[in-house]
């Protein structure tokens, strides 16, 4: 069961003249089993917000509480352990290791010390199967299509059985029918296990799959609306 | 194209070292402990880059091995015969300044040194450089050492027979002499020092090495007197030095003599100390440049991998984990490079020995082991440069945003 409580969260890049207030005073809460959508124009601070929740960026001020753990206060080493053990992150650019195969890209997660359900190999094969990648599992990342890579990135984010799945604009390279299918199974995976998910998207069809949709504008949370699902 | 071939290679190498991924639905449970080391996988997938680095390591290692081999060879040429003296100390004339060439001892002084120094055993030894004609009639020089059969100065005979007392026309020739001269046991040699000219017969072979960069040859002390001074007897010096055996001998001085250890004597061979520092500098430069080159190569490789290091760190890999991959790569590649360079150096050594004018080069197991260990250590030190880059890499680059 995962709970997330974000309080008055801000992030400023740089300082003085060049300061960019990417996120300003964002607050929201999320209950276990919830899957949130995050929308907003480009440059509105979606990636920055996601990265702070994911322990990649340290907030300038405010607090992020994940299951009682204050993320903003973690040391670099603790942040790394938090990312490894609690977070499944699908980056905006899918970021696979190019010299590894699809399957090996999943195995990396366990190789760096993350725990997860079952033996690493079995879990990897299972996820590849769920995402329709079984045939491509021994192809190098560089040999995969954009959509296949995105699906591998999603599978990788699930390898450590994370408390919190953070997905940054997955539709960019997911063809729509397939994309919807993939996101649906991702949502099932998250909700079914009482975890939490946040997905940044431009695609309204995708946003509709979320329980609630957060909307950002100029670093601020402007609206919180119920999803259709 | 390329796909089928790559798959073939992957299978080929995979079978050898790494277990292959389990086949889904093959009815076989997945092996829990699948060997999976990213750093090693990367070597397999980026063979060209890593092969080039290995080649550089091989060449550097080969270079350092050769420098060491030549250094050891040069030292042996300088005085391996001195090192193989069966003695704990060597006594010189106190006027000689520890020069074997200039040291001359009278019978009176030489005879008293053993007792005066408190040695258990002592033996006089004469030295003179003399020319001889080799089997092709070419004049070359050798180090002639005059000894008295039956004393500690007598070399160990490895072929033929020993010299009898008073056998003033016999020679015990070192292997290096036989190789350089093309002569053999039983052959006659014409030897000359200035106007003195004598004929000797090689009666035995010894394995004492070289002296003053020349092959060593042993003759009787009286033959040495004849060769060096044109006469034997009481009117000419009795010996150049006296070999001593016993405890606490180095540093002893007495009437007309001073005794030093063999290593002091070796270091005082003309030209040795300068040569030693040259060889030592070459070795140090070899190691330092080797470490720098290997370090720089891995550093450049690490710089190229910054985006991937960022991804690894972004999904939670520790600095230590990432560094271990780099270190593993360095160790594997350095091990391969060093392993290839050893037979290469050995083959070169054998080839150089075949040359008519033998290049002073020598490889001992010690040379190989120290060189290989030192190279591995320098490679690992070089890898530490990369460690810094690993720590510096910020995982937020995985977000793909400009800084
Ligand atoms: N590393 C950075 N340094 C400085 N400014 C940044 C950095 N990353 C993002 N920004 C700026 O912060 C703002 C929010 O960016 P981002 O979170 O990527 O928005 P979104 O994901 O909604 O497009 C933008 O104005 C962007 O230019
Ligand atoms: Mg973004």
**CA–CA dist B41, B379 (Å, integer):** 20
Is the Cβ atom of A13 under 6 angstroms away from ligand 1? yes
Number of A to B CB contacts under 8 A, please give it: 112
The confidence score (pLDDT) of residue B24 equals: 39
Contact partners, residue B241, CB within 8 Å, separation at least 6? B90, B91, B92, B100, B103, B105, B124, B125, B127
Residues A70-96 pLDDT 10s: 999 999 999 999 999 999 999 988 789
Average model confidence (pLDDT) across chain B: 84
Average pLDDT over residues B91-101: 91
The confidence score (pLDDT) of residue B179 equals: 87
Consecutive H or E run containing B83: helix B47-83
**CA–CA dist B158, B204 (Å, integer):** 7
The confidence score (pLDDT) of residue B31 equals: 41
Residues A6-65 pLDDT 10s: 999 999 999 989 899 999 999 999 988 899 999 999 999 999 999 999 999 999 999 999
Average pLDDT over residues A191-216: 89
Describe the crossing of helices B365-392 and B47-83 by its angle, rounded to 10 degrees: 140
Instruction: Yes or no: say if B45 and A99 are a contact pair by the CB < 8 Å rule.
Output: yes
Contact A138 B7 (CB under 8 A): yes
The confidence score (pLDDT) of residue B26 equals: 38
Report the DSSP beta bridge partners of residue A30. A4
What six digits make up the tokens of B310?
């960022």
Nearest to A85, CA basis, from B316, B32, B322: B316
The confidence score (pLDDT) of residue A171 equals: 64
From residue A167, alpha-carbon distances to A39, A50, B181 in Å are 12, 8, 82
The confidence score (pLDDT) of residue B15 equals: 33
How do B170-174 and A87-90 pair as beta strands? unpaired
The confidence score (pLDDT) of residue A228 equals: 47
Consecutive H or E run containing A184: helix A176-192
Average pLDDT over residues B278-285: 84
Q: Over 70: is that where the pLDDT of B27 sits?
A: no
**CA–CA dist A81, A113 (Å, integer):** 9
Q: How many CA atoms lie within 13 A of B151 on its CB side?
A: 21
Is the Cβ atom of A45 under 6 angstroms away from ligand 1? yes
Provide the CA B258 distance to its chain's centre, in angstroms.
31
Instruction: Yes or no: say if B325 and B102 are a contact pair by the CB < 8 Å rule.
Output: no
Nearest to A153, CA basis, from B40, B398, B346: B398
Residues A155-181 pLDDT 10s: 999 999 999 999 998 766 566 677 788
Other Cβ atoms less than 10 A from the Cβ of A196: the count is 25
Alpha carbon distance, N-terminus to C-terminus of chain B:
39
Q: Over 60: is that where the pLDDT of B16 sits?
A: no
The confidence score (pLDDT) of residue B34 equals: 59
The confidence score (pLDDT) of residue A170 equals: 77
Contact partners, residue A94, CB within 8 Å, separation at least 6? A149, A150, A152, A153, A173
Place of tokens 């919190």: A164
Chain A hits for B24, CB-CB cut-off 8 Å, are 125, 129, 134, 137
The confidence score (pLDDT) of residue B1 equals: 41
Which residue numbers of B have CB closer than 8 Å to A's CBs?
A: 3, 6-7, 10, 21-22, 24, 29-32, 34, 36-38, 41-42, 45-46, 308, 311-318, 321, 395-396, 398-401
The confidence score (pLDDT) of residue A227 equals: 53
The confidence score (pLDDT) of residue A172 equals: 61
The confidence score (pLDDT) of residue A142 equals: 94
**CA–CA dist B256, B97 (Å, integer):** 12
Alpha carbon distance, N-terminus to C-terminus of chain A:
21
Contact partners, residue A145, CB within 8 Å, separation at least 6? none
B13-22, B205-214, B248-257 — which is least confidently predicted? B13-22
Chain B hits for A104, CB-CB cut-off 8 Å, are 21, 36, 41
pLDDT higher at B391 or B137: B391
- In DSSP notation, A91-150 reads -SS----TTSBHHHHHHHHHHTT---SS-HHHHHHHHHHHTT-GGGTTSBGGGS-HHHHH
Place of tokens 């509480």: A65
Is the Cβ atom of A128 under 6 angstroms away from ligand 1? no
Average pLDDT over residues A178-197: 86
Residue B341, SS3 per DSSP:
helix
Instruction: Yes or no: say if B257 and B93 are a contact pair by the CB < 8 Å rule.
Output: yes
Average pLDDT over residues A111-122: 89
As to burial, measured by CB atoms within 10 angstroms (0-12 exposed, 13-18 middle, 19+ buried), residue B274 is exposed
Q: How far is the CA of A22 from the centre of ligand 1 (A)?
A: 6
């Amino acid at each position: 069961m995962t709970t997330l409580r974000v309080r008055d969260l801000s992030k400023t890049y740089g300082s003085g003249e060049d300061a960019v207030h990417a996120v300003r005073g964002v607050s929201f809460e999320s209950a276990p089993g919830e899957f949130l959508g995050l929308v907003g124009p480009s440059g509105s601070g979606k990636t920055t917000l996601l990265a702070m929740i994911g322990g990649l960026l340290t907030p300038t001020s405010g607090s992020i509480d994940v299951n009682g753990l204050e993320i903003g206060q973690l040391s670099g080493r603790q942040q790394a352990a938090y990312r490894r053990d609690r977070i499944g992150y699908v980056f905006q650019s899918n970021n696979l290791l190019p010299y590894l195969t699809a399957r090996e890209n999943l195995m990396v997660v366990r190789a760096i010390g993350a725990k997860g359900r079952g033996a690493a190999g079995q879990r990897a094969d299972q996820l590849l199967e769920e995402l329709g990648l079984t045939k491509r599992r021994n192809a190098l990342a560089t040999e995969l299509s954009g959509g296949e890579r995105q699906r591998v990135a999603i599978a990788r984010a699930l390898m450590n059985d994370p408390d919190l799945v953070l997905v940054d604009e997955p539709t960019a390279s997911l063809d729509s029918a397939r994309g919807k299918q993939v996101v649906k199974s991702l949502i099932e995976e998250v909700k079914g296990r009482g975890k939490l998910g946040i997905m940044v998207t431009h695609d309204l069809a995708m946003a509709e799959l979320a329980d609630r949709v957060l909307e950002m504008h100029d670093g601020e949370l402007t609206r919180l609306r119920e999803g259709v699902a | 194209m390329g796909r089928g071939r790559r798959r073939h290679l992957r299978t080929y190498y995979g079978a050898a070292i790494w277990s292959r991924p389990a086949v889904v639905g093959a009815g076989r449970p997945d092996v829990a402990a699948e060997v999976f080391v990213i750093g090693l996988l990367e070597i397999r997938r980026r063979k060209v880059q890593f092969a080039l680095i290995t080649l550089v390591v091989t060449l550097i290692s080969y270079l350092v091995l050769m420098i060491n081999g030549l250094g050891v060879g040069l030292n042996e040429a300088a005085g391996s015969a001195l090192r193989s003296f069966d003695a704990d100390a060597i006594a010189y004339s106190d006027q000689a300044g520890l020069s074997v060439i200039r040291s001359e001892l009278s019978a009176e002084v030489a005879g008293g040194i053993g007792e005066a120094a408190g040695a258990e055993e002592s033996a006089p030894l004469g030295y003179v450089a003399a020319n001889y004609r080799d089997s092709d009639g070419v004049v070359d020089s050798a180090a002639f050492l005059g000894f008295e059969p039956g004393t500690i100065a007598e070399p160990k005979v490895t072929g033929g027979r020993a010299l009898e007392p008073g056998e003033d026309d016999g020679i015990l020739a070192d292997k290096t002499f036989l190789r350089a001269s093309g002569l053999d046991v039983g052959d006659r040699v014409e030897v000359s020092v200035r106007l003195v000219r004598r004929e000797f017969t090689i009666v035995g072979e010894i394995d004492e090495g070289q002296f003053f960069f020349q092959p060593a040859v042993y003759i009787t002390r009286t033959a040495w007197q004849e060769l060096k001074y044109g006469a034997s007897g009481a009117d000419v010096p009795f010996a150049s030095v006296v070999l001593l055996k016993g405890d606490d001998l180095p540093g002893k001085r007495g009437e007309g003599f001073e005794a030093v250890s063999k290593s002091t004597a070796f270091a005082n061979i003309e030209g040795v100390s300068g040569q030693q520092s040259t060889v030592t500098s070459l070795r140090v430069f070899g190691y330092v440049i080797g470490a720098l080159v290997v370090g720089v190569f891995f550093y450049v490789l690490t710089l190229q991998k910054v985006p991937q290091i960022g991804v690894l760190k972004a999904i939670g890999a520790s600095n230590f984990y990432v560094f271990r991959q780099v270190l593993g790569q360095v160790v594997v590649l350095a091990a391969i490079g060093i392993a290839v360079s050893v037979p290469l150096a050995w083959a070169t050594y054998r080839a150089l020995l075949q040359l008519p004018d033998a290049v002073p080069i020598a490889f001992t197991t010690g040379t190989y082991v120290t060189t290989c260990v030192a190279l591995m250590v320098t490679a690992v030190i070089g890898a530490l440069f990369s460690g810094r880059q690993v720590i510096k890499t910020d995982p937020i680059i995985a977000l793909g945003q400009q800084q």
